[in-house]
Amino acid sequence: MSWPRNLLFGSIRARLLLLMLGGLGTLMFALFLLLDFSIDKQIFGRLDATLLSRAHGVVVLLESHPRDDAWQELHELSPEYATGGHTDFVQIWDAAGSTLLSSASNAASNLQPPPAPVPANAPLFYDLRLPDGHRGRAVGLRFSMLGRADEAILVVAEEREQVDQLERHVHLALVIGVLGMGLLAALLSVLAVRGGLRPLLAFAADTGPDGAPRVEPLPVARMPSELKPFADTLNSAFARLQAALGRERRFARDVAHELRTPLAETRMAVELASRGAPSPEVLAGAIASIDRMQRCIDGLLALSRYEAGIDQAQVEPLELADLLRRSLAMAAGPAGKREVTITAQLPDECWVMSDPALLERIVDNLLLNAAEYAPAGSDVRMELASGDDGWNLRIGNAAPDLSPEDLARLGERFWRKSAAREASNHGGLGLALSGTLAGLLGLRLDFTLERAMLWASLGPLRPIALPEEPAS
């Protein structure tokens, strides 16, 4: 799915905002066009009405007075047509197109004649370039002059620079106003959508942190009516899930607790029986099996306590490089039995904030798992590197039998790649316990395959900035 489609159909907020902003934007654009058309019509309508009124006044003079008297009276009544004026112009043509009269403001230049024949009983409005080079607006009228048998064409023109400037100012004001209203509408849309979705966000927050099942039921009474059916259904599902998890944890804890004492007694009996026995190797194998069962039970107890929230992390400053060296020394024995070499790239000193006991248990489990399952005679590598978000630990071992599909199952309880690994000395809970402890510490535990090497990545560990020693 492309990102626009994913954005549109993957988010209610994005869909609502897109619809609201799209609708408001279309409405604002239509409003801009309507206002622009109406204002332009009013502005040029007033200009055309003024021109037509002046033209009628000139026609009345020329139809009722001799030409020269009428022309002189026109200049007296309307000084803007006199010499030196450059905003108002008058010119009259006969039917053959010859100039009969022109105002002094024309300065011996001619106005542009009408671009089309002037109707007999209607004005003709058109735009033109005035003698002074400015843009103008003109009206043409057909009339009969006193003392002439043929009709004449009168054109009254006026400069429109000021009108055009007013139009530009109006357009600018409209654009600014529409943009401002659009931004305000967008802000109000965001606030409206956020306010409308606030119950959903609160509903998501009420379901529990990180999707964890709630212990307390959702507060249905204060929810909107649209969300109450979902809340009731979730409350019922949470209650059933919580009960099932509680039964599972109690069962694992009770079984593990009840088996510890019998196993300890069995181990003691086998050890006593092995003294002076004719075949101590057989009893040694039984003791190894008992130890494996004991580790499995201890792992189940630890998982139950951490998952139930009985044990919590105790974060404090710790020297990570020293902790890793202790874990390397612990894993050297089991690795040496299989001729597995462990190499490490560690800084001299590395201070972080974490729980020493839990972090050491995670590292021990990862190292022992790598030493146990790496092919005999191969290498196990440990790398500690600093990144933008903190320190990141990587432990890798050769894993020729693993496939990328197996990575999702790493960390499952009692999962092993093949039946041949069932004879392992591990209880099958090391990686599961490590994942639980990493989550308790706020760390990520990820597994990747790189060139047949299985890498376990743990981090980021928050560094501590140590104060610098004063210069001597």
Q: Tens digit of pLDDT for each residue in 149-190?
A: 788 899 999 888 888 888 888 888 888 888 888 788 778 877
Local confidence band at 299 (pLDDT 50, 70, 90 cut-offs) = low
Single out the residue in 307, 342, 368 at which a domain terminates. Answer: 307
H helix intervals, 65-160:
67-77
What are the tens digits of pLDDT across the range 114-141? 999 998 888 999 999 888 888 889 999 9
Residue 355 lies in a domain: yes
The mean pLDDT value for 314-318 works out to: 91
Does residue 409 sit within a domain?
yes
pLDDT at 44 over 70: yes
The answer to whether the beta carbons of residues 151 and 159 sit under 8 Å apart is no
What's the rounded Cα separation, in Å, for the pair 248 and 50?
Answer: 93
pLDDT recorded at residue 23: 82
Helix, strand, coil percentages, rounded to 5, for the chain: 55, 20, 25
- Look up the CATH number of the domain holding residue 249: 1.10.287.130
- Comparison of pLDDT for 451 and 207, the residue scoring more: 451
Cis peptide before 79 (omega within 30 of 0): no
301 and 322 in a single domain? The answer is no
Whether omega for the bond prior to residue 115 falls within 30 degrees of 0, making it cis, is no
Query: Residue 353: what pLDDT?
Result: 93
Give the CATH number, domain containing residue 160: 3.30.450
Q: Is 451 exposed, middle or buried (0-12, 13-18, 19+ CB in 10 A)?
A: exposed
In which residue are the tokens 């006193």 written? 146
User: What is the tens place of the pLDDT at every residue in 412-467?
Assistant: 876 777 644 444 555 567 788 888 889 889 999 999 999 999 999 999 999 987 66
- Both 405 and 386 in one domain: the answer is yes
- CA angle 114-119-124, nearest 5°? 45
The three-state secondary structure class of 143 is strand
* Polymer length of the chain: 472
Sheet of strand 99-102: strand arrangement: 99-102, 88-93, 151-159, 135-144, 124-129
Task: Give the range of the structural domain holding residue 115, as residue numbers without chain letter.
Answer: 14-166
Q: Is the pTM of this model over 0.75?
A: no
| 8 A C-beta contact, residue 331 and residue 367 | yes
Is residue 469, in this structure, part of any structural domain at all?
no
Please report whether residue 191 resides in a domain: no
Mean pLDDT over 311-317 rounds to 84
In a domain, residue 456? The reply is yes
User: Across-strand partners of 343?
Assistant: 381
Tens digits of residue pLDDT in 342-359: 999 999 999 999 998 889
Give backbone dihedrals phi and psi of 12, rounded to 5 degrees, phi first: -65, -40
| Distance of alpha carbon 345 from alpha carbon 347, whole angstroms | 7
Residue 376 DSSP class: T
